[in-house]
């Protein structure tokens, strides 16, 4: 069995795992990150894209609120290319409890969150689509954060700094000697080969799967899974993040992201990381909530619904109907202290906005264990994107025109303006082709047609570089997953898109389901 | 006042308009947008199940084939072949045999009738062929096409990339761009000069479907003669020419037989309440600038299913028929309209208006809703057209029955 050894092995290539690895790299620690599938395939990639101002937790969870507020300004400094500075508005509607807005404003001031009261006139001039029944409005510095961009940049920075990111490898077993984890046995999800990685410290950052990873070492962690459902709506009706100024509840945020806007989220306790199916009632609820903020919202075209699983820290294992009351703050469990198993710690809870802080605390712990004195510097070192060209529609459009320096390029995904050269660059830089990873890297297939045309085009391009059956398996499973995400929204124009895509795939192109190990 | 008003300019609406006009009826055809043919594969699928041949008696009682009957299907197919023959766009095929036409990705599309430039691929199975890609043509996937064609039993010896005369285009070319160019005989001569030296040793060549839109067969035959080899066409993803050609041929035939065609105007059904029998009196035609009434003796509804606007699914789970608000069955929970996977059989395929043997839409008790309203094509309930591979066959057979009944 091939093996390698490192100082730190991080399990999970989400924001937390990559954040920890990045922090460790900067301190000169030798690090490997492994993930069972790909970057941003768990909770980080299934997120609404909100860079919190902190306001949301000001009343109920001041510590989280404070962390969000300070991380907000740090992230704006270190990863500006993944952030669209939309600003945010907190709106109390006439139907909302009248005294909450005051309590909220006071709480924000105490924590030090910038809140600026706005008149109805100001708000409507800025965002004319909003409802007129606003009783109070406040401006905060929320923003839209593209987690795919963030995670890809993190992974790129880690690799550049000497760290290793090993994808499609699932931890199968921990090798434990004298109550100390000394190595992990990994199985490749692609070809089922196994390998061993020895390390001094193992960090379980597997998010909603972290209970399963901990179980491999025979330890239990107090985690509750909470499902959050989101809907992406075609077009942006506002260019500002819109929050509802009321106690945190479902469907109270609308985030403009790329060419769409996302409403989220619900909060439903579920039993495991894979418990993702969405109920029609969740969709209806979110659309109705959107309607209260933006009249006509629910008649607009929804593009796609998806859900992510929050791994929440719940030591009491409360049996609740909602997990809304559980703190969003994060927890680091050193299994040497809790279970007598050394060399392993688990990190979970928290939120994407505070991923850097979580990573810092874990890396502090790792540095202490390894007796390394270097201090954290992730709050000042920028996270560089792989390509210095930011993914902004207008930038992409300019690149389409031939110029003295550029040969003619063609658009492969019209909705998101993804060019052929971007796909070719992806093919060159990756050892195997995966449409879903291409989507996360370039936004291909994320727009209104949900990859009806570009999935096939991209596969066609990949065929010129790879000689493999797997491309068709990948295509069928990708279009099936994209289609499933739209199939919950089977009415109006979405229904026509659903029927059209299916007819294109099955009747015009004759795509058949190819069975493979992956599907 | 028109004798027959047909709503919808897809395959069934256009075909019905020609049948009725050929029988000297005064026919008006209205359509809100482009009909469904613009995104169709341009072939006639009648029954593409590999496991069983079409036997009407084995179908469920409410299946459109069973309701229209074998006779209507046979007559419709003959009439269709005649129309295509007269328009110099002949189809090859029969009701008793299946054709397998290569798709853009190299899968095989099982169909009953195909235009000859596509159907010619059948002749080449077992003989060595070459596959051409066109430089600058969008949606041309030669490697994927060749690999899949080979695994489907085609002897693809080589694949060649052919360039076009003139300077490099400023943007990707669509198949429609090239189709117009190929209609010019001088352009075809240039092509022949450019391509012929590259084709030595090739006996038969498959190329993307780009050979003309308005006189397709003429272009196809002429380029074969010029190049001195056999050609067959492989459809591209939309805009795909075989569908557009069929649409164009049917439109010009309808115009030739005097059908009054009104495009770009949506229809709102009008009910005649003055008589005891429930009848429709025509439609209100909504054009971008005004609306006017269009009276008709008989109306044939050929507005299609969910994709083409005949049926509208609402968020509350209800399904609405878009012109006359006809009664449609729908499941209690909107989730039941779709099965989870793209590749599953989809319940929504089965929904639509229920009809009797005269193609009259029925109410929930099974009585005709309006005695002078008929329907044809995708709006009719009771068939999973996708998994049966029966879409165009149902369009033609039900259009045939609807016209017969309307002219009785």
Q: How far apart are the first and last CA of chain A?
A: 27
Identify the CA nearest to A138 among candidates A107, A160, A182, A164: A107
Rounded Cα–Cα distance for residues A495 and A349 (Å): 37
Produce one character per residue of A367-376: b if its CB has 16 or more CB atoms within 10 Å, e if not: bebeeeeeeb
For residues A380 and A39, the answer to whether their CB atoms sit within 8 Å is no
Chain A residues near residue B109 by CB distance under 8 angstroms: 507, 510
Q: B207 and B334, same structural domain? A: no
Phi-psi region at B382: left, alpha or beta (left = phi > 0; alpha = psi -120 to 50) = left
A53, two tokens: 């101002």
Rounded Cα–Cα distance for residues A343 and B341 (Å): 43
Q: How far apart are the first and last CA of chain B?
A: 18
Q: What is the DSSP letter of B358?
A: T
Rounded Cα–Cα distance for residues A379 and A437 (Å): 28
CA distance to partner chain B, nearest, from residue A407 (Å):
10
Identify the CA nearest to B40 among candidates B250, B207, B183: B250
Section A62-66 average pLDDT: 92
Domain edge (last residue) among B180, B208, B239:
B239
Binding-face residues of A in 492-511 toward B, CB within 8 A? 492, 495-496, 498-511
Q: Sort strands A83-84 and A88-93 into parallel, antiparallel or unpaired.
A: unpaired
Count how many domains chain B has: 2
CA distance to partner chain A, nearest, from residue B238 (Å):
9
Q: B29 and B153, same structural domain? A: no
Q: Is the pLDDT of residue A307 over 50?
A: yes
Q: What is the DSSP letter of B347?
A: G
Q: What is the DSSP letter of B228?
A: T
Q: What is the DSSP letter of B54?
A: -
For residues B6 and B16, the answer to whether their CB atoms sit within 8 Å is yes
Q: In three state form, how does the secondary structure of A411-450 look?
A: EEECCCCEEHHHHHHHHHHCCCCCHHHHHHHHCCCCCCCC
Show Cβ contacts of residue A463 under 8 Å, excluding neighbours closer than 6 positions: A471, B141, B143, B144, B147
**What is the per-residue pLDDT for B33?**
87
**What is the per-residue pLDDT for B406?**
98
Sign of CA dihedral A446, A452, A455, A460: negative
Q: Sort strands A344-349 and A330-334 into parallel, antiparallel or unpaired.
A: antiparallel
Identify the CA nearest to B238 among candidates A457, A39, A435: A457
Q: B140 and B33, same structural domain? A: no
Helices (H), B286-352: none
Identify the CA nearest to A330 among candidates A311, A343, A349: A349
**What is the per-residue pLDDT for A492?**
93
Q: Dihedral, CA atoms, B198, B200, B202, B204, nearest 10 degrees?
A: 80
A298, A496, A506 member nearest B386 (Cβ): A506
Please report the beta strands in B116-168, taking only residues with DSSP state E, as ranges in sequence order. 128-134, 155-162
Section A91-106 average pLDDT: 93
Q: B315 and B191, same structural domain? A: no
Cβ <8 Å between A488 and B335? yes
Chain A residues near residue B148 by CB distance under 8 angstroms: 472
CA B345 to chain centre: 21
Q: Is the pLDDT of residue B399 over 50?
A: yes
With CA atoms as reference, the chain A residue closest to B388 would be: A507
Chain A residues near residue B235 by CB distance under 8 angstroms: 508
Q: In three state form, how does the secondary structure of A352-370 look?
A: HHHHHHHHHHHHHHHHHHH
Q: Is the pLDDT of residue A274 over 90?
A: no
Q: Which domain holds residue B391?
A: 2-91+248-406
Helix (H) or strand (E) holding B87: none
CA distance to partner chain A, nearest, from residue B142 (Å):
8
Phi, psi (degrees; rounded to nearest 5) at B168: -65, 135
Q: B394 and B316, same structural domain? A: yes
A129, two tokens: 């689509």
Q: pTM for the complete prediction?
A: 0.90
Per-residue model confidence as pLDDT tens digits over A367-377: 999 999 999 99
Section B7-22 average pLDDT: 98
Provide CATH code, domain A3-43+148-222+328-370. Answer: 3.50.50.60
CA distance to partner chain A, nearest, from residue B54 (Å):
19
B338, two tokens: 């779709």
Section B334-338 average pLDDT: 90
B18, two tokens: 């020609």
Q: Kindly report which listed range (A236-250, A463-477, B284-298) carries the lowest average pLDDT score.
A: A463-477
For residues A332 and A173, the answer to whether their CB atoms sit within 8 Å is no
Q: Residue A518 — very low, low, confident or very high, per pLDDT cuts 50/70/90?
A: very low
| CATH number reported for the structural domain that contains residue B401 in this entry | 3.50.50.60
Q: Residue B79 — very low, low, confident or very high, per pLDDT cuts 50/70/90?
A: very high
CA distance to partner chain B, nearest, from residue A512 (Å):
8
Helix (H) or strand (E) holding A83: strand A83-84
**What is the per-residue pLDDT for A398?**
60
Rounded Cα–Cα distance for residues B185 and B283 (Å): 45
Q: Is the pLDDT of residue A363 over 50?
A: yes
Identify the CA nearest to A357 among candidates A3, A11, A86, A23: A23
Provide CATH code, domain A53-60+78-144+230-304. Answer: 3.30.9.10
Rounded Cα–Cα distance for residues A53 and A114 (Å): 8
Section A130-148 average pLDDT: 96
Establish whether the linkage from the previous residue to B239 is cis, with ω within 30° of 0: yes
Show Cβ contacts of residue B125 under 8 Å, excluding neighbours closer than 6 positions: B153, B154
A460, A487, A504 member nearest B338 (Cβ): A487
Q: In three state form, how does the secondary structure of B21-47 look?
A: HHCCCCEEEEECCCCHHHHCCCCECCC
**What is the per-residue pLDDT for A517?**
44
B109, B142, B341 member nearest A480 (Cβ): B341
The domain ranges of chain A are: 3-43+148-222+328-370, 53-60+78-144+230-304, 393-508
With CA atoms as reference, the chain A residue closest to B45 would be: A507
Q: What is the DSSP letter of A28?
A: T
Rounded Cα–Cα distance for residues A389 and A421 (Å): 13
Per-residue model confidence as pLDDT tens digits over A112-122: 999 999 999 99
Per-residue model confidence as pLDDT tens digits over B176-230: 999 999 999 999 999 999 999 999 999 999 999 999 999 899 999 999 999 999 9
Chain A residues near residue B348 by CB distance under 8 angstroms: 490, 495, 499
Average pLDDT over chain A reads 91
Phi, psi (degrees; rounded to nearest 5) at A387: -115, 135
Show Cβ contacts of residue A99 under 8 Å, excluding neighbours closer than 6 positions: none
Q: Testing the interface with B: which of A508, A514, A519 to mutate, by most B Cβ within 10 A?
A: A508
Flag whether residue A98 sits within 8 Å of chain B, measured between CB atoms.
Answer: no
Rounded Cα–Cα distance for residues A403 and A385 (Å): 24
CA atoms within 13 A on the CB side of A293: 27
Cβ <8 Å between B147 and A502? no
The radius of gyration of chain A from alpha carbons, rounded to an integer in Å, stands at 23
Rounded Cα–Cα distance for residues B405 and B408 (Å): 5
Identify the CA nearest to B182 among candidates B230, B217, B135, B206: B217
Cβ <8 Å between B105 and A456? yes
Chain B residues near residue A487 by CB distance under 8 angstroms: 338, 340
Chain A residues near residue B340 by CB distance under 8 angstroms: 484, 487
Q: Is the pLDDT of residue A318 over 80?
A: no
Q: What is the DSSP track for A373-406?
A: -PPP-TTTS----SSSS---HHHHHHHHS--SS-
With CA atoms as reference, the chain A residue closest to B169 would be: A408
Q: Is residue B87 part of a domain?
A: yes
Rounded Cα–Cα distance for residues B377 and B173 (Å): 33
Q: B178 and B29, same structural domain? A: no
Per-residue model confidence as pLDDT tens digits over B18-71: 999 999 999 999 999 888 999 999 999 999 876 677 888 899 999 999 999 999
CA B274 to chain centre: 38
Rounded Cα–Cα distance for residues A207 and A191 (Å): 25
Per-residue model confidence as pLDDT tens digits over A419-441: 888 899 899 988 889 999 999 88
Q: Residue A315 — very low, low, confident or very high, per pLDDT cuts 50/70/90?
A: confident
Cβ <8 Å between A503 and B108? no
Domain edge (last residue) among B201, B217, B239:
B239
State what percent of residues in chain A have pLDDT above 70. 93
CA distance to partner chain A, nearest, from residue B280 (Å):
27
Section A288-293 average pLDDT: 96
Cβ <8 Å between A490 and B240? no
With CA atoms as reference, the chain A residue closest to B109 would be: A510
Section B91-108 average pLDDT: 94
A491, A499, A513 member nearest B334 (Cβ): A491
Domain edge (last residue) among B207, B239, B271:
B239
Q: In three state form, how does the secondary structure of A443-490 look?
A: CCCCCCCCCCCHHHHHHHHHHCCCCCCHHHHHHHHHHHHHHHHHHCCC
Sign of CA dihedral A10, A16, A18, A24: negative
**What is the per-residue pLDDT for B50?**
67
Q: Is the pLDDT of residue A394 over 70?
A: no
Rounded Cα–Cα distance for residues A384 and A154 (Å): 8
B206, two tokens: 């498959």
């Amino acid at each position: 069995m091939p093996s390698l050894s490192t100082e730190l092995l991080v399990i999970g290539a989400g924001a937390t795992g990559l954040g920890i690895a990045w922090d460790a790299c900067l301190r000169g620690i030798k690090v490997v990150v492994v993930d069972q599938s790909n970057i941003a395939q768990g909770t980080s990639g299934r997120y609404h894209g909100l860079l919190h101002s902190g306001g949301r937790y000001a009343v109920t969870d001041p510590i989280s609120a404070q962390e969000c507020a300070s991380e907000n300004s740090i992230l704006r400094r270190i990863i500006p290319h993944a952030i669209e500075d939309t600003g945010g508005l907190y709106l109390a509607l006439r139907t909302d409890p009248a005294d909450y807005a005051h309590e909220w404003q006071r709480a924000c001031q105490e924590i030090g969150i910038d809140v600026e009261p706005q008149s109805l006139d100001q708000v409507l001039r800025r965002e004319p689509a909003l409802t007129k029944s606003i009783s109070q409005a406040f401006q905060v510095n929320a923003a839209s954060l593209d987690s795919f961009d963030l995670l890809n940049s993190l992974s790129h920075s880690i690799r550049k700094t000497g760290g290793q990111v090993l994808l499609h490898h699932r931890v199968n077993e921990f090798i434990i000697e004298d109550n100390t984890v000394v190595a992990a046995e990994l199985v490749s999800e692609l070809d089922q080969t196994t390998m061993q990685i020895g390390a001094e410290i193992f960090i379980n950052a597997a998010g909603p799967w972290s209970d399963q990873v901990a179980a491999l070492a025979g330890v239990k962690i107090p985690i509750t899974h909470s499902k959050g459902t989101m809907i992406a709506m075609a077009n942006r009706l506002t260019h500002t993040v819109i929050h509802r100024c009321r106690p945190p509840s479902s469907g109270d945020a609308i985030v403009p992201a790329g060419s769409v806007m996302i409403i989220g989220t619900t909060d439903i306790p579920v039993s495991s990381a894979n418990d993702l199916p969405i109920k029609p009632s969740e969709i209806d609820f979110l659309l109705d909530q959107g309607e209260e903020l933006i009249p006509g919202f629910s008649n607009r075209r929804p593009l796609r619904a998806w859900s992510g699983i929050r791994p929440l820290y719940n030591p009491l294992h409360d049996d609740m109907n909602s997990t809304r009351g559980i703190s969003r703050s994060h927890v680091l469990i050193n299994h040497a202290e809790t279970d007598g198993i050394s060399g392993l710690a688990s990190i979970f809870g928290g939120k994407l906005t505070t991923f850097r802080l979580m990573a810092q605390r874990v890396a502090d712990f790792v540095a202490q264990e390894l007796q390394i004195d270097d201090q954290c510097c992730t709050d000042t070192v920028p996270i560089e994107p792989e390509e210095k060209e930011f993914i902004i529609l207008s930038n992409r459009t300019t690149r389409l025109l031939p110029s003295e320096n550029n040969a003619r390029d063609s658009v492969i995904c019209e909705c998101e303006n993804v060019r052929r050269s971007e796909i070719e660059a992806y093919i060159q830089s990756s050892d195997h082709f995966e449409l879903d990873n291409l989507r996360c890297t370039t936004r291909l297939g994320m727009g209104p047609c949900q990859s009806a045309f570009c999935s096939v085009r991209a596969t066609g391009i990949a065929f010129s570089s790879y000689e493999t059956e797997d491309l068709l398996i990948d295509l069928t499973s990708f279009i099936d997953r994209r289609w499933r995400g739209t199939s919950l929204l089977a009415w109006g124009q979405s229904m026509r898109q659903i029927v059209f895509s299916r007819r294109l795939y099955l009747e015009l192109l004759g795509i058949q389901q190819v069975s493979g190990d992956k599907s | 006042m028109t004798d027959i008003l047909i709503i919808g300019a897809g395959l069934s609406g256009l075909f019905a308009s020609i049948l009725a006009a050929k029988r000297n009826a005064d026919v008006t055809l209205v359509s809100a947008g482009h009909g469904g043919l613009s995104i169709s594969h341009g072939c006639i699928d009648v029954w593409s199940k590999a496991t069983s041949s079409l036997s009407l008696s084995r179908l469920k009682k409410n299946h459109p084939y069973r309701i229209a009957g074998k006779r209507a299907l046979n007559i419709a197919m003959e009439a269709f072949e005649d129309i295509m023959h007269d328009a110099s766009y002949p189809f090859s095929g029969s009701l008793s045999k299946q054709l397998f036409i290569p798709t853009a990705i190299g899968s095989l599309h099982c169909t009953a009738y195909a235009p000859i430039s596509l159907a010619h691929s059948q002749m080449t199975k077992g003989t060595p062929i070459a596959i051409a890609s066109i430089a600058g043509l969008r949606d041309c996937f030669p490697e994927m096409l060749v690999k899949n064609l080979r695994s489907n039993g085609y002897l693809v010896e080589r694949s060649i990339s052919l360039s076009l005369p003139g300077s490099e285009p400023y943007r990707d070319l669509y198949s429609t761009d090239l189709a117009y160019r190929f209609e010019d005989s001088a352009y075809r001569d240039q092509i022949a000069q450019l391509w012929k030296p590259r084709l030595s040793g090739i006996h038969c060549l498959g190329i993307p479907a780009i050979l003309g839109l308005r006189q397709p067969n003429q272009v196809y035959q002429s380029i074969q003669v010029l190049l001195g080899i056999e050609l067959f066409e492989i459809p591209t993803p939309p805009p795909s020419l075989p569908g557009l050609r069929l649409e164009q041929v049917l439109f010009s035939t309808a115009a030739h037989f005097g059908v009054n065609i009104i495009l770009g105007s949506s229809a709102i059904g009008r009910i005649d309440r003055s008589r005891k029998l429930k009848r429709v009196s025509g439609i209100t035609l909504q054009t971008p600038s005004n609306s006017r009434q269009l009276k008709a003796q008989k109306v044939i509804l050929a507005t299609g299913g969910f994709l083409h606007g005949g049926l509208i699914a609402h968020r509350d789970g209800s399904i609405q028929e878009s012109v006359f608000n006809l009664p449609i069955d729908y499941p209690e929970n909107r989730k039941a309209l779709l099965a989870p996977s793209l590749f599953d059989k989809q319940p929504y395929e089965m929904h639509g208006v229920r009809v009797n043997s005269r193609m009259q839409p029925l109410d929930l008790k099974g009585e005709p809703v309006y005695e002078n309203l008929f329907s044809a094509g995708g709006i009719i309930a009771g068939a999973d057209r996708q998994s049966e591979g029966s879409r165009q066959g149902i369009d033609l057979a039900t259009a045939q029955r609807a016209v017969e009944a309307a002219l009785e």
